[in-house]
Structure 1
Amino acid sequence: MTVKAWRWQGTDADGRHRRGVTPSPDCRSLRLHLRRRGIALENASPLPEWAEWLLRSRTPGVKSGQLAGFLRRLSVLVASGIPMVQALEMSGREMRGSLLTVIGTVRDDVATGRSLAEAMTDHPGVFDTLLCSLIRAGEQASALDRLLPRIADHRERGERVRQKLRRAMMHPLLVLGIAATVALMLLGFVMPRFESMFRDFGAELPALTQMLIRASDWLRGGGWLLAAILGAGMATASTVAMRLPRLRRTRDQIILRLPVAGPLIRRVMEARFAGLLALMNEAGMPLADALASLADSMGNRIYEQAVVDIAVSLDDGRNLEASIAGTGQFSETLTQMVAVGEETGQLAAMLNRVATLTEESVNRDLDGLSALVEPVLMTLLGLIIGGLVLAIYLPVFQLGAAI
């Protein structure tokens, strides 16, 4: 279920007019939420996409690592038999920022008699639909003490893979950024000093040095401004592409087609799909409800659509194995393991096995990629900086040889 931001107007118990912006999956849920706050809803309308993006960009978020840590602490306390209100109080003590405030609100709601899932649903920016659905299933089955550790395990594993993937992708950009900064400093500040000295020589300069002088002149003549504008434009376009839903699909499609990162991200998506579906199956969620919640949690529009297609295929009477294979987004290993799980009644175990094997494979590949990329980047950095230094000092060497 997609959560939207709603602009609303209403009246409280004292007859005062109230207004605000509140996230909610639909108008009915918004009305119930406001009624619990003592506000009678009069009218409401969803915010347009651009306004919703602007609101999210100005609202401090909660890091996935923080949420994983909170779920781990909560699972330990609940499994120890501590009442939920006290467990929430103790879990929130080590939190910081907006998560601390949200946990306090959830604790107060639970203390008034609401379930944990209901209290979490009021904060879709922190607790996603899938997490709330899993918590609700655990509460209905009186198995929250067993399900919470499994949820925490999955979140922590996913966070470790996400962090490792982010480091593997950001490290080359960091090294190239350092190289670009050093090159700009040499061109903007060092090269002009040598240029005046080269002119005094009166000799013809090497081609590499002449090219460097032209680049320095262009940079000091206003080229730096053009480069800054291009850089700012690319950063802005990247931010917008990550926020606006209409551009996210194109961005995600491009990412999946990248030579090295694409296959890695596909396997991360497959591990996430298998692990989450196994978790929801263990929680006793109906497959249709599980897929509806799973679609919004994939984090990639291509795979979100694939999960939706699986749900549609199941509604048409096909089995899960054929539905997954029909999307063309998942490996043959996953479809075969799902087929075995459906035949033997061990679907959750087979899905967990696929998720574990895929995560281990991704971790190995990321470790190998980091070990391979680092020396290549150092060599590239040395060539760039060394080439610039050589272009600066080559005329000096030629002059010394002539003397």
Structure 2
Amino acid sequence: MASPILWQWQVIAPDGQYHRGVLLAASHKQASARLAEQGHHILALRRHPRPGRQYRHIRHRITFLRQLATLLQAGVSLDEGLSLLGNQHPLPAWQALLAGLRAGINQGQTFSVALAATGLFPPLVLALITTGELTGQLERCCQQLAQQQAQQHSLQQQVVKALRYPLFVLAVALLVSAAMVGLVLPQFAAIYQTFNAPLPALTRGVLGLADIASQWGLTALLLCGLLATGVPFARRRYPVLLRVEQHLLLRLPLVSALIIDQRMTMIFTTLALTQHVGVSLLDGLTAAGSALPAPLWRECITRLQAQISAGETLSRAMEESPLFPALAVQMVATGEASGALDTMLAHLAEEFSQQAYARATALSATLEPVMMIVMGGIIGTLVVAMYLPLFQLGEILH
């Protein structure tokens, strides 16, 4: 589904009154058609100058679900709750989105169908909202979804935080090294050319690197830019590259365990939540697969579904996959045997979540000193190479 665009409109309503507002639509034609369907005479329709492109961020969904659950628990109707949330939301895009939800519901759509039409909510949210509508527990499902989405976002932030500082240190080291090689070393090279003596091997090597950088530096930067723009495009165009990337990441010593724990957390949190509210296991797996970012893991979920449809138990299907740890297989088998699968899935989600947090912290603690050593080694080598001939200057003059 195309990403919706925020439009500003001014109309004359069928009762002759002037109105203005915002709406989300994929195109100008679609926006015009929606206004015309309501009998409005369009005076102006243009793109919003400040659409707030971050409106698709998960934190806005979390806030919306949590606030809607609170209003529903307080006895506020769904239509009134959407109106209250839309009127007070700071982002025009969300004001339009919530107004669109209200319009869909007033036209006879169910809440889950109206949510699906926005293209903003993942299948897990849609599945649980549908279940909440069928069971009359919409507020409970919204609250549990808010908790699940918040936990998922928190785990992602923890992983990003663990990698942010080491990568920043590495970037600083590379920038300082590039500045020394491109700006400082040429000045020292001009001085060293006046010496009537051979330079140390380390200095000659670094000066040779500076010459290469001066000749090919711009080309290297252009290639890096092309790679930075081309690799994401290639990953989207050719899913096989994503599979290769995932296989390579699963072979890295520190990163593989963190990736597995993070994926297990997403899978078991989704399954525990869907089982708790009465969604079937196959539908729960569909929701879990849609939440996974890499085709390698989605294909794994698809194989689980096929095996379960053929009569296998979940634990047996997981046992045949190399991606699931033995602990997960054993605990799921115990839950199936005891009839408490939803409880065991919740325990697994909590266990892998704690492991992921611990591994992210350990990864950060491991990478930080390594990056400092790398930065110190690079810069130290350049400094020694630059000043080593000066230390020998006395011997050269004698």
TM range (shorter): 0.7 to 0.9
Question: Given the alignment of the two structures, is residue 328 of structure 1 paired with residue 322 of structure 2, yes or no?
Answer: yes
Residues 120 and 127 in structure 1, CA contact (< 8 A), matched pair in contact too: yes
The alpha-carbon distance between structure 1 residues 37 and 158, as it changes in their structure 2 partners (threshold 3 A), is: farther
CA RMSD between the two structures: 2.6
Question: Given the alignment of the two structures, is residue 234 of structure 1 paired with residue 220 of structure 2, yes or no?
Answer: no
Per the normalisation by structure 2, the TM-score is 0.81
The alpha-carbon distance between structure 1 residues 348 and 204, as it changes in their structure 2 partners (threshold 3 A), is: same
Residues 2 and 26 in structure 2, CA contact (< 8 A), matched pair in contact too: no
Which residue number in structure 2 is paired with residue 53 of structure 1?
Answer: none
Which residue number in structure 1 is paired with residue 9 of structure 2?
Answer: none
Residues 197 and 396 in structure 2, CA contact (< 8 A), matched pair in contact too: no
Displacement after TM superposition at 1:243 (Å):
2.4
Displacement after TM superposition at 1:37 (Å):
8.8
Which residue number in structure 2 is paired with residue 110 of structure 1?
Answer: 105
Which residue number in structure 1 is paired with residue 12 of structure 2?
Answer: none
Question: Given the alignment of the two structures, is residue 352 of structure 1 paired with residue 315 of structure 2, yes or no?
Answer: no
Separation in 2 of the partners of 1:176 and 1:204? 33
Separation in 2 of the partners of 1:166 and 1:244? 25
Out of 334, 357, 360, the residue aligned to residue 366 of structure 1 is 360
Question: Given the alignment of the two structures, is residue 378 of structure 1 paired with residue 372 of structure 2, yes or no?
Answer: yes
Residues 70 and 95 in structure 1, CA contact (< 8 A), matched pair in contact too: no
Separation in 1 of the partners of 2:162 and 2:350? 20
The alpha-carbon distance between structure 1 residues 107 and 259, as it changes in their structure 2 partners (threshold 3 A), is: farther
Separation in 1 of the partners of 2:350 and 2:381? 46
Alignment of 1:121-136 (within 5 A): 121-124=116-119, 126-136=120-130
Residues 78 and 145 in structure 1, CA contact (< 8 A), matched pair in contact too: yes
Out of 248, 257, 263, the residue aligned to residue 263 of structure 1 is 257
Separation in 2 of the partners of 1:301 and 1:63? 22
Separation in 2 of the partners of 1:401 and 1:79? 86
The alpha-carbon distance between structure 1 residues 254 and 182, as it changes in their structure 2 partners (threshold 3 A), is: same
More off after superposition, 375-384 vs 352-361:
375-384
Question: Given the alignment of the two structures, is residue 341 of structure 1 paired with residue 341 of structure 2, yes or no?
Answer: no
Displacement after TM superposition at 1:132 (Å):
0.8
More off after superposition, 347-356 vs 255-264:
255-264
Out of 276, 295, 311, the residue aligned to residue 289 of structure 2 is 295
What amino acid does structure 1 have at the position aligned with 2:217? Answer: W
What amino acid does structure 1 have at the position aligned with 2:61? Answer: L
Which residue number in structure 2 is paired with residue 47 of structure 1?
Answer: none
Displacement after TM superposition at 1:170 (Å):
3.8
Superposed CA offset, 1:2-45 (max 9, x none): x689xxxxxxxxxxxxxx969xxxxxxxxxxx999969xxxxxx
Question: Given the alignment of the two structures, is residue 63 of structure 1 paired with residue 63 of structure 2, yes or no?
Answer: no
Which residue number in structure 2 is paired with residue 305 of structure 1?
Answer: 299
Separation in 1 of the partners of 2:102 and 2:314? 39
Superposed CA offset, 1:202-240 (max 9, x none): 32211111111111122222x112211221132123312
What amino acid does structure 2 have at the position aligned with 1:77? Answer: L
Alignment of 1:208-287 (within 5 A): 208-221=202-215, 223-244=216-237, 246=239, 247-287=241-281
Separation in 2 of the partners of 1:192 and 1:68? 55
Question: Given the alignment of the two structures, is residue 140 of structure 1 paired with residue 98 of structure 2, yes or no?
Answer: no
Which residue number in structure 2 is paired with residue 191 of structure 1?
Answer: 185
Residues 241 and 251 in structure 1, CA contact (< 8 A), matched pair in contact too: no
Displacement after TM superposition at 1:367 (Å):
1.3
Separation in 1 of the partners of 2:321 and 2:92? 41
Superposed CA offset, 1:310-335 (max 9, x none): 11111111112112222222112112
The alpha-carbon distance between structure 1 residues 97 and 337, as it changes in their structure 2 partners (threshold 3 A), is: farther
The alpha-carbon distance between structure 1 residues 180 and 137, as it changes in their structure 2 partners (threshold 3 A), is: same
Could you list the runs of 5+ residues in structure 2 that have no partner in the other structure?
4-24, 28-32, 39-52
What amino acid does structure 1 have at the position aligned with 2:64? Answer: F
Could you list the runs of 5+ residues in structure 1 that have no partner in the other structure?
6-19, 23-33, 40-58
The alpha-carbon distance between structure 1 residues 248 and 175, as it changes in their structure 2 partners (threshold 3 A), is: same
Which residue number in structure 1 is paired with residue 67 of structure 2?
Answer: 73
Question: Given the alignment of the two structures, is residue 120 of structure 1 paired with residue 115 of structure 2, yes or no?
Answer: yes
**Quick one: percent identity of the two aligned structures?**
28
What amino acid does structure 1 have at the position aligned with 2:102? Answer: R
Separation in 2 of the partners of 1:385 and 1:100? 52
The alpha-carbon distance between structure 1 residues 100 and 259, as it changes in their structure 2 partners (threshold 3 A), is: farther
Separation in 1 of the partners of 2:108 and 2:64? 22
